[in-house]
Amino acid sequence: MASSPLLPVTTPQGKQSPLKYSYGGADGNGNVTPPQSNSPGSPTPGGNRGLQNLQGLTMKVQQQNKLVRFFQDMGKKAVPFELGDFAQVRRVHFNPEHHMSVLFQMHGSVWPSVFPFCCANVLIALGVMYLRTSLDIDLTFPSTGHTFMSIMVSFLVVTRNSITYARFMAAGEHLSTSYRTCRELMQHVCVLTMHDTSPGAQKWRQNVAYRTILLLRVTMAAIEFNSTNVDPWDVVPDGSLRNEDGGEEDEDQDVMYFSLVNQENRVTKWAHGQRTLSDENFRAPIVLAYNLRAEIMKQRNGKLLANDMHCNEELKLLGFVGDFITAFHELQTMITTPFPFPLVQMTRTFLFFWVFTLPFCLVKEISEPIQVLLIIFFITYGFVGLEYVSMELEDPFGDDPSDFDDLGMAMVVFEDIYITIFKTDGSQSATSLRQKVKARIDRPELW
């Protein structure tokens, strides 16, 4: 079974490996190898049905290889298309079946943060033992009260972890919804108008795709702003973009008002109160969603599509935009609604008091120094480590190893949209869209 190379993909170890597509019964140039008969002159198995299947396979393979060559041409001529350039996957990779690698992997681990606390508590234990044995100063006390306090500490730590993990998984679900709606929107746009191959229809599909990509990119910038400090308005068109007819694009002119240059004006001109830059950045996806909805409805002017879309089809497309904004608002709510401070304060107060008074109890209860030190070290690692896990998962948008690779996954959605445009309007339209995206939002300084 022959295979055709597509593009090099950067693996988690930083090595590039060719991504290959395999086509049964075909070589990399789209030439189909017919089934081999058992004896000379024997007919094709299945008669006409076998011939029809072979013809269908031929068409499928040729289409797939056109797609492969399209991405190869994009990689060689249009733009650099290596995934490792601006979309480095930041996720933690590990093999759950390899116990030693899980135990000793430092990337994404809480060990670097927790280890100083473990050492500090061990030093406290050594100091207590030294004072008790050498200077006859006994600072230890019975562990009865400490045992009761451990119940409260365990409850607070586990509760905080449970809430944080639930928020983390909910954030992942909302991100998945935003990616899904972008893919579904473009596939429905193309499928519902695929029989209209006029230049106006192709232009409209490409513009809807461009607005969809722009909306998704700005949304990723908005939710990552607290970690990256990249203003979402920096990734939108700058107002100098002109359409094919030579006129200014109205939506881009509207967006231009909100550019970083006019940051002071946009914050104060219409505000009913004090607004932070973070507040203003969350407006970017809402403005871009309006532009996308306007672009979808442009087909009603009678100049783009041969036949107007049915109102139910329009509502279907607009519904995807609504689902996207719903997911964005859920993400915004999670970002702007912090973890309850009283619970965080109580958890850390009880945690640190209990952990760092542990040596005063165990030194009295356990006579073997090595046992005391080991128990204190790993108890400190367990309880303080759980608190650091909560801190790690509390803000999953950014550059930390355990954060979501939202920007990298968004780029995958961009590529899926290119493929959808390619299958509907061909290589030229998809390449034109890719170049347009690169010129506007695929700038290295913003990644």
The residue type found at 331 is L
CA distance 414 to 179: 10
Could you list the pLDDT tens digit for every one of the 447 residues in the chain?
443 333 333 344 444 433 333 333 334 343 434 444 444 444 444 445 555 555 555 555 565 565 556 555 555 443 333 333 444 545 678 888 899 989 999 988 999 999 999 999 999 999 999 999 999 999 999 988 889 999 999 999 999 999 999 999 999 999 999 999 999 999 999 999 999 999 999 999 999 999 999 999 999 999 999 888 888 877 765 543 334 443 444 455 444 444 444 555 555 567 777 777 788 889 889 999 999 999 999 999 989 999 889 999 999 999 999 999 999 999 999 999 988 999 999 999 999 999 999 999 999 999 899 999 999 999 999 999 999 999 999 989 988 888 999 989 999 999 999 999 999 999 999 999 999 888 877 655 554
Q: Whole-model pTM?
A: 0.76
Mutual angle of helices 358-365 and 341-356, in 10-degree steps: 30
Determine which helix (DSSP H) or strand (DSSP E) holds 402, and give its type and residue range.
none
CA distance 191 to 269: 43
Determine which helix (DSSP H) or strand (DSSP E) holds 184, and give its type and residue range.
helix 144-192
Bin 426: left if φ > 0, else alpha if -120 < ψ < 50, else beta: left
Over the range 147-178, which residues count as b (16 or more CB within 10 Å of their CB) and which as e? Answer: eeebeebeebbeebbebbeebbeebeebbebb
401: helix, strand or coil: coil
4: helix, strand or coil: strand
Nearest to 239 by CA among 253, 223, 219, 222: 253
Please answer whether residues 220 and 87 qualify as being in contact, where contact means their C-beta atoms are separated by less than 8 angstroms: no
Residue 79 DSSP code: S
Handedness of CA 120, 122, 125, 127 (dihedral sign): negative
Judging by DSSP bridges, how do beta strands 3-10 and 16-22 pair with one another? Answer: antiparallel
Give the Cβ contact number of residue 128 at 10 Å: 21
3: helix, strand or coil: strand
CA distance 17 to 6: 10
Span between the terminal Cα atoms of the chain, in Å: 39
CA distance 443 to 431: 17
